[in-house]
Amino acid sequence: MPTYDYKCKDCKTTFSISASFTSMLGCKPTCPCCKSENIGRMYSTPNVIFKGKGFYSTDNEKKETES
């Protein structure tokens, strides 16, 4: 389930809400501290994990063969 991060513009509290995308449609979250609806969404880069070969520069190095 995705996590949505918010910051209250009144009391500067940051909080997270874990909910499905469809349950967040039309929903106006409120601050858990001051109950204000004056909040802003905080955006961040998604976490990406690369697994397997071919993702790192060390995977593509040519190995010297011993003669």
Flag whether 55 is in a domain: yes
Following DSSP, what letter does each residue of 21-38 receive, concatenated? HHHHTT-----TTT--S-
**Residues 55, 18: Cα–Cα separation, whole Å:** 30
Q: Is 40 inside a domain boundary?
A: yes
Q: Is residue 51 part of a domain?
A: yes
The pLDDT of residue 56 is 64
Q: Which two tokens stand for residue 3?
A: 């996590």
Give the total number of structural domains in the chain: 1
**Mean pLDDT value of segment 48-61:** 66
The range of the structural domain enclosing residue 37 comes to: 3-59
Q: What is the domain-level CATH number for residue 40?
A: 2.20.28
> Which pLDDT belongs to residue 58?
62
- Surface-to-core class of residue 47, CB atoms within 10 Å of its CB (0-12 exposed, 13-18 middle, 19+ buried): exposed
34 occurs within a structural domain: yes
Q: Which two tokens stand for residue 14?
A: 């940051």
* Model confidence pLDDT, tens digit, residues 10-52: 999 999 999 888 888 888 899 999 999 999 999 988 777 777 6
